[in-house]
Every structure is written in C-alpha cells, then in structure tokens.
Structure 1
Amino acid sequence: METLVASASFDRIAAALAVAFATWVTFKLYKILVPPQNLRKYPKAGTWTLIRTLAKRMGYLEQHEMLFEAMRDNALKRGIIKSRDETPSVYLTWFFGRWLVVVVNPDDMKLVLTKHDVFEKLPFDVGHTTKFIGRNVAVVQTPEWKRQRKVVNPAFRRGWATSLFGLPARQLIKHLDAIASSGTIMDPAGWMQRMTLDALSLAAFGTNVDSLNQPDAPIVKTYNTLMAEILDISKLMNPFYKWSKDGRRALALIEAFDRYVFGLIDSKVANITARKAEASGANGGEEDEARDLLEMMVEAAEGTDFSREELRANTIVFFVAGHDTTANALTFAMYLLGMHPAIQDRARQEVISVIGDVDGTTSDDAMPFPTADQERRMPYLSCCIKEVMRLFPSLTIVPQRFTTTAVTLADGTMLPRDTLVTGDIYSLHRNRAVWGPDANEFKPDRFLDSVGPDGQIPMHPAAANFGWTPFGGGQRICLGQQFSLVEQRVVLAMLLLRYTWTVVGDEHALKGKPESMPGNLLHAKGIQVRLERR
C-alpha cells in the first residue's frame, strides 16, 4: 500500500514538473516568436518566412524582396500603408531569438547614426568573426572607440595617391584587353574583387599581393577562402560551428593570415626604428598620401598603449571592408552603366574633357589615370557613383545597435533600454517617399543640383538629409569612405577611356534584378558584360 502511495506521489510530482517545464518552454517560445507589446504596432515578416530564406541560402536581393513583400502584406492588412508603393517608416524583423526594430526613414536613420552614445554598437561574435576581425575602431563600443580613434584617425584622414589605384587598374586593363579582343563575355565581380584586393594590399600594407596576375598565390587563396567562409551566414547559424570541420578549417585559415599580417607589422616596426636610428626622419620625406596605412598607424601608436593586436585588427578591418565594398560598388557601376549606354557615354565625355582622350594604340601600361586634381573635377562621374551606391549599397543594413537608455523615434514611439535597432539602407535608398516615384530608376542627374561651387558632389549623408547613407554617418562614419570614392573615380575613368560595354546574357540582370550572394554585404552574381575597345 505504501509503495502505491509513494508511486502515485512520484507520478504527481513528475506530472507537475512536466507541466512547469512545458509552461516555461511555451513562455520562452512566446517571448522569442511574439514581439513585445510596445512594438506590435509595427509590421513584420513572419519568423518562419525569415528562417526559410536563410535555410535556402537565398541571395540578399532575392531574400530582401521576399521578406519585404511579406512585411508589406502585413502592413496592408493592418492598414499601416495603403498601397504596395509605400514603405513603412519602421518595421520589425526577427534576429536569432530577439526582435529588431528596423528604421527606413531619414529622421530615424539620422538618430541611429549620430546618437552613438544612445545607440551603442552590438557585439557580434558568431563563429570566428571576432577572432578574424578583432577589436577594431569599427566594431568596439563608444569608450573604447574614443581611445582607438586617436591612433587610427590620422592614418585615414589624409589624401590618397591616385597611383594606388591607377597602377593596379593598368594590370586589370591588361587582362580585360585580352577579353575584349577575344569577344569573351566577362563577369566584372571577380575582376573587380582581384583589382581592389591588389589596391588595398598596396594601400594598407605597402605590398601588392598581385592577385590579378597570381590568383593562386598562397596568401591570395588563403584570404579568398577565408572570406567565403566568414561571410557564409548559413554555416554561422550552426551553434556548433566552431567545433565543426568548417569551423576548424576557418580557424586554421585565420591563423595563417595572422602570421602574414603580424610579419608585416613586425617588419614595419623594424624599418621605422632603423630609419629613426639613422636620423632620416619619420617618413623619409614621403608625402602622407603615398605612405601605407600600417606604417602610419605604427608611428601614431608610438608612446601609446595601442597594442600589436590592435594594429592588426584595425589594418584588417580596413583591408576587408575597403576591398569587398569597393569591388561591389565597381561591379554594380559597370552593370548600371552597361544597362544605360547614354549615361555611360555622357560620363565618358566628361572624363575625356578632363583627362584627354587616348587612341587605340595606347598600351595598357601607358594608360593614363587621373591625378588627384583631375579626379575631383568629374562631377557627373561622381553623380553616377553616388546613384550606383544609392541603388546597390555595398552594406545593406546599419550594423546592429542597442539602446542604452529610453529613446523616442520620429513617430513618437518610445523604445525602452536594451532594444535592438538597425537601419535598412537598401530600402531607405529606394523609398519613394524620400526619392520620388522614380526611386528604383538609375538617374545620376538627380544629384546634379547639389554640385558645389568647387565642382564637388557632396558625399556625406546630411547632403541628402540622411536619405543616402551607404557609408553610415555621424562621428562613426566609415573611415575608408574617401579611399573608396577616389578608387571608384580613378578606375571607372580609366575603363571609360578604354572601353564601351553592354550587359548581356543573364535574364535576371537584363530585367534589372541581378542575382546576388547571401549575406548583408551585397555581392553581385552572374552579371555578364561584353567589352569593346574604343
């Protein structure tokens, strides 16, 4: 009898525990899958819709279209918008178990980008990203950022010699000449990736890795394989990634790349020390714009607590971000100019008026590239670049922030402390309420009325009331902005002098919707271009 009573008691306890556990799981799932009460007024795409797009490894543009249309359906159903031409000013998205507030209007974008003490950067440590990127000025939180920028800013806040881009572009032209003469169709993405890698290695390290001529060189293969691994979000979603075969391989690649970078750092330190010992001056008479980033940071770090690891992290982030983003911008520039021959020709005529024309017998190693003065005197080309980066921003979203205190959005909504927030740059740049009914069209002329007395097109977000933010904004605006813009003007000017080109082949691209790779960094895929020598 006592045994039966004990057994019944045990069953009741087990049942109670099971109910309690089920209740706890249900509550947790509810918290994960249902937005907080104060945010439920905003439209959203379904959580499972997002998970399906990630599982299918959709390219960014395809994924964005699917999720944005699902969000618009939700907004229409709830009366938040009245037609599909409208873009909600704020929406919600699900991010690994938490709800993220996404702003798509200039006022809130300005708030997020300029109030960096209120919208603090969210640490992002998925897979081996922190191991690779390190703690650099782009990702650390505000107190640490203030310390690091004292060393890093002087290395970036200077001019960049146009030869850093013109010389690698000549090597690119050598290969493109062969493609043009053979009538072969080319995908600009791969070529731009290699050319910008060479320019970045020259600017960052003072050493050209020469990926255009040696694409299979060990350091080039290590870097390219590592980047493909680091950017594969579908793999990084695996909670056991670090211990997986892919994770172990990524770690080995990072360690190999580190050996290369630390070797360069140690060599720079030794060279600078030797120069000073010979009393030859810190820069040997060189202009700042001709010196590489690592050398300038090594010198700026002297007498500070800036570590060897921080030198590595800040060189790496410039190397990675500057190379990939500029390659993507140049790829989409070739795409849009190839789709719009009249605009391409107008840009070419401006380049000719500034630099002078070249004849068909000019060799690749004699191709002129703009001087620092000339690259500033091509406003229409700058309008083209600005419009390309509006339609296809390399970074499609603002890196995630969290609120450090309660803050009020433009629509009056109060976000409590510890709310995750980001900005949808891609959607903001195509928002008809901001850019008009032709927001999805390639029209560089829309920026011509902003040309300043000096002939420059302003490339800061305030010039477009924070409706144009491909480089971010505020005090933490991308440090490599000027580097990227100078490179784009130099390379495009040289290509326009040398070739005419058209987009062919891929039906997605020809319909104005090129394919892309997964991830929030916009990589074009499958664009096909036919080049002709002028």
Structure 2
Amino acid sequence: MTDTEFPVHVPLVREPWGILKSLNAARQNVLSIIPEIATRQPMVSGKTGKRWHMVMDPQALRHVLLDGLADYPKSDVTKNLLRPAIGESLFVAEGAHWRWQRRAAAPVFSHRNVMNLAPIMTAAAERSAARIAASGPGAIDMADEMVRATFDVIGEVTFSGGGGFDRDALHRAIDRYIAEAGKVSLLDILGMPDWVPRPGRVFSGQVVKEMKSVADRAIDDRRTTGAKDIPDLLDLLLAGEDPETKRRMNTAELRDNLLTFIVAGHETTALTLGWALYLCAFDPAVQARARTEATSVLGTRAATGADVANLPYIRTIIDEALRLYPPAALVSRTALKRDTLGGREIRPGDTVMIPIYALHRNHLLWDAPDSFNPARFADRKAIDRYAYLPFGDGPRICIGASFALQEAVIILATLLARFRFTAIPGRDPKPVMILTLRPQGGVWLQADPL
C-alpha cells in the first residue's frame, strides 16, 4: 500500500517553456509538456514553433472528432512517427482511403467474431496465472507479465497455428521500433517534410523491415494453407471486402493493418492491465470487492467471454484505469481551415491537441479527478461521452475497443480470483509516455496465492 493519497501521476508544467526545453522534455515524457492549467480549463492555446491548442471541452471535442472530422486529420507529427512501420493503414489513412479500409475491416471486430476469440483469451489468462504461481514468493513485474499475456493472445488470434512464424522475433522488433522511433523529433515539431531524415527512424529502419517481412511471410503462408475452422484475425482480414466497392486489401495493405492490430492489440491492453493491477494493489478495499465478484462468478476457473457481462465491478476498474492512465494519452490533429473552437479562432495549419491525460483529470469534468474511484463508472450514462476518450470517438473510434475490453476483463478477473496483489514499498511505477503511457520501472507487486 502506498503512503500517498493519490496513485502516481505526471507532474505537469506550471510555467511557459521554450521550444528546445519542450523538445527535450517531450523526448523523455510527452506528457510533461502539458500545462497544469489544462486540468482546470476547457482550452489552452500557445505557440511553440507553430500555433497549438489543447482542447478539453467536450462540445469542442465532439466537433473535432465527429462533426468536423474531415477538417481535422491526424497531425503530421503522428503520421511521421507511425507511417514507416504501419504505412497507410487504418490508423494513419485519411479520407476515402481510410473509409474503404474501415468498411472492409469492421466485420473482423463484430461481437460474434470477438466472442469466438474469447477462448484464446481464457487460455492466455490460465497460462499467465500458472507463470505467476510458479514464480514463487517475491516481487513480480506485472507490467512485463501482462505484455507477455496479451502478446500471447494477439499472436494466437492473428497467426493461429502459424507454423514457422516467430512471435518472439516480431515482439522484439515491435518493442525496438517503439523505443527508437517513438521519440519526438524536433524536425516533426518544426513541420519539416518527410524526406528530411529523422535519426531515430533511420536507426530503426532495419527493425521495420524485419517486422514487415515476418508479416508478409505469414500472409503468403495463410493464402496457401487456407482459413482455420474458427477464423482468426488474419483469416477475417483476408476475407474482408468493402461492401460498397467490393475492394479487398492487397498484401501490403493487409500487412500494414495486421501490424497495426498486433501493436495496438497487445500494447494498449497490456498497459491497461498493468495499471489496473497497480491500482488494485494501491487500494486493497477495491481489490477485495473485485475478488469477491470474481470468485462468486468464477470459483477457481478462468474467466470466459460469457462471464464478462457478469463482472461489472471489474469492468469499472478497467474503465478507471483507462481514465487515469489512457494508453494513447495525447493525440493531435491539424486544422485544415479556419474555424472556432471554444470561442477561439483556429487557423489553417494550427495543431489541435487532445491531451486525453488532462481531459480525464480535468476538474471541470470529474469529481476528485486524481483519485482512484471505480464507482464513478457505475452509471456510464452520467459521464459525458466526450469527457472520457480512452478509445477516441466518432467515426475513427478504435475499431478493436470491444476486443480489448473483453480481454482485459477476462485476464484481470482470472488473476484477482487466484492471487492477492500487494505493492512493493518504494517501487511505484512512473507514468511516462513516448508513443503510449507506460509504467516506467515496471509494476512490481507481490502475488500471494489464495
């Protein structure tokens, strides 16, 4: 149990910074450039190389993400960071190219298909529990264990029975790319064109080639062997087509979207679970209530897809973990035309940032926003839709949100039903965002079998 009143948080800026200081801070932790006033105001504007606006007003966010979506495409910084690895996939593409891919991929994440994949999540939860039990007494880095468990899931639901597919090699390649290419470049902030080399991305070029070659081989192999009895994500993508144009993805498009789903499908869920376990250790009363719910539904077995609807309190812990530590804690858009947001002028070329970390901790929108309180999600209808954006919203809401939530509830419920997690004094994680909001230093907990 920590001796502080609130779970760990990011110290936010309380004074204006210049571009070089902002760059240096952003390379260490992107969230450190958010001004503290962003947690107390609906909108904050400034200029660091170019004009920017941080938006925390739900109505303005609805305009950016829904009504005016076409006028606020993803920023060049975001595209420059991700395009080398995932090309013009769903996450990066805009306009018509995005729309046809979204239509083709939407059935992949239907409720039926997500439920069909639940047994893989249950099996991964069982293996995770077995590894924790076998580790014996002492501290365990649960952040690392959750990465292993969720990559276990995404590897199986993407490449089930994948013969010569080297999942560990792909996992290492993805991790190296995020570490090297995710650091914000001064050239990106200044808006320099793509052809100007970025040192981090040049260094990671070989890693990107490795990732793409592994995915290409898997796609070619599956085209040869054919679909499984219960189709996995790759089967579903291969069979997917735009219902309007009947267009199907070519190998490069399949590979880029597959890599997108692999990265997003394990990294963000692993982070959510790591933070959720930290929070359960932070508040033993919450953990005890969640365990009572889990054991009453599961007994000693692992959770299944059918159990998720009967584990509402554990779902609220996941929701609260996503509020306090959203994996995509800051996203940005570029304004294409003159507009008004929150009564302020927006000019073409302005950067419009959505600091989800600050939005989720905004005092105008949340009661005691820095506290851990899963009960705030007992009535989801009482929460403004655009005050809570762990998966974004509007047409570009995360296509895999239901997959991630189902997986998170299955794994968390299984572990809480079998172990009591206790924090290790002096080893609290530090929230640090490069591409995603990670617990730097790990989530070190003691796991005592029940």
Shorter chain as normaliser: what TM range? Answer: 0.7 to 0.9
* Structure-2 change in CA distance of 1:523 and 1:236 (3 Å): farther
Could you tell me which residue of structure 1 aligns to residue 215 of structure 2?
A: 261
TM-score by length of 1: 0.73
Could you tell me which residue of structure 1 aligns to residue 125 of structure 2?
A: 169
1:226 equivalenced with 2:177 (yes/no): yes
CA distances 1:98-133 after superposition (whole Å, capped 9, x unpaired): 222110121222221113122222344777732211
Residues in 2 aligned to 1:375 and 1:125: alpha-carbon distance in whole angstroms: 34
* Structure-2 change in CA distance of 1:48 and 1:58 (3 Å): same
- 3-state SS of paired residue (1:113): helix
Could you tell me which residue of structure 2 aligns to residue 120 of structure 1?
A: 73
**Which structure 2 segments of 5+ residues have no match?**
1-14
- 3-state SS of paired residue (1:434): coil
Residues 185 and 198 of structure 2 are in contact (CA less than 8 Å); yes or no, is this contact kept in structure 1?
no
Could you tell me which residue of structure 1 aligns to residue 238 of structure 2?
A: 298
Residues in 1 aligned to 2:304 and 2:393: alpha-carbon distance in whole angstroms: 28
Structure 1 counterpart of 2:321, which letter?
V
Structure 1 counterpart of 2:448, which letter?
E
Could you tell me which residue of structure 1 aligns to residue 85 of structure 2?
A: 132
Residues in 2 aligned to 1:172 and 1:515: alpha-carbon distance in whole angstroms: 24
1:445 equivalenced with 2:375 (yes/no): yes
User: Which is greater in Rg?
Assistant: 1
Could you tell me which residue of structure 2 aligns to residue 111 of structure 1?
A: 63
* Structure-2 change in CA distance of 1:219 and 1:315 (3 Å): closer
Residues 152 and 314 of structure 1 are in contact (CA less than 8 Å); yes or no, is this contact kept in structure 2?
no
Aligned positions, number: 424
1:420 equivalenced with 2:351 (yes/no): yes
Equivalent residue runs for 1:1-12 within 5 Å: none
- 3-state SS of paired residue (1:430): coil
CA distances 1:331-361 after superposition (whole Å, capped 9, x unpaired): 1000000010110010111112222x22xxx
* Structure-2 change in CA distance of 1:420 and 1:59 (3 Å): closer
Could you tell me which residue of structure 1 aligns to residue 141 of structure 2?
A: 187
Runs of 4 or more consecutive aligned structure 1 residues displaced over 6 Å after TM superposition:
125-128, 208-211, 234-241
- The offset of 1:236, in angstroms, is 8.2
Residues in 2 aligned to 1:267 and 1:470: alpha-carbon distance in whole angstroms: 35
1:503 equivalenced with 2:423 (yes/no): yes
Equivalent residue runs for 1:41-440 within 5 Å: 45-54=17-26, 57-60=27-30, 63-64=32-33, 67-69=34-36, 72=37, 87-92=40-45, 97-114=49-66, 115-124=68-77, 129-159=82-112, 160=114, 161-179=117-135, 181=136, 183-207=137-161, 217-233=168-184, 242=197, 247-272=201-226, 286=229, 290-301=230-241, 304=247, 306-355=249-298, 357-358=299-300, 368-398=301-331, 400-410=332-342, 412-436=343-367, 438-440=368-370
- The offset of 1:369, in angstroms, is 2.3
Structure 2 counterpart of 1:227, which letter?
I
CA distances 1:510-534 after superposition (whole Å, capped 9, x unpaired): xxxx313441410002232111000
* Structure-2 change in CA distance of 1:223 and 1:415 (3 Å): closer
- The offset of 1:209, in angstroms, is 10
Residues in 1 aligned to 2:328 and 2:90: alpha-carbon distance in whole angstroms: 17
RMSD: 3.0
Identity of aligned residues (%): 26
Residues 118 and 403 of structure 1 are in contact (CA less than 8 Å); yes or no, is this contact kept in structure 2?
yes
TM-score by length of 2: 0.85
Structure 2 counterpart of 1:404, which letter?
L
Structure 2 counterpart of 1:254, which letter?
V
- The offset of 1:422, in angstroms, is 1.9
* Structure-2 change in CA distance of 1:199 and 1:210 (3 Å): farther
* Structure-2 change in CA distance of 1:385 and 1:236 (3 Å): farther
* Structure-2 change in CA distance of 1:93 and 1:163 (3 Å): farther
Structure 2 counterpart of 1:151, which letter?
A
* Structure-2 change in CA distance of 1:395 and 1:93 (3 Å): farther
Residues 136 and 314 of structure 1 are in contact (CA less than 8 Å); yes or no, is this contact kept in structure 2?
yes
Structure 1 counterpart of 2:370, which letter?
N
- The offset of 1:487, in angstroms, is 0.7
Residues 128 and 149 of structure 2 are in contact (CA less than 8 Å); yes or no, is this contact kept in structure 1?
yes
Structure 2 counterpart of 1:533, which letter?
P
- The offset of 1:177, in angstroms, is 0.8
Residues in 2 aligned to 1:491 and 1:210: alpha-carbon distance in whole angstroms: 28
Residues in 2 aligned to 1:119 and 1:243: alpha-carbon distance in whole angstroms: 25
- 3-state SS of paired residue (2:378): helix
- The offset of 1:465, in angstroms, is 3.1
Could you tell me which residue of structure 1 aligns to residue 384 of structure 2?
A: 464
- The offset of 1:419, in angstroms, is 2.4
CA distances 1:183-205 after superposition (whole Å, capped 9, x unpaired): 22112111111111111111222
* Structure-2 change in CA distance of 1:265 and 1:107 (3 Å): same
- The offset of 1:142, in angstroms, is 1.9
CA distances 1:403-433 after superposition (whole Å, capped 9, x unpaired): 23322213x2231333221211100101111
Residues in 1 aligned to 2:93 and 2:252: alpha-carbon distance in whole angstroms: 14
* Structure-2 change in CA distance of 1:49 and 1:249 (3 Å): closer
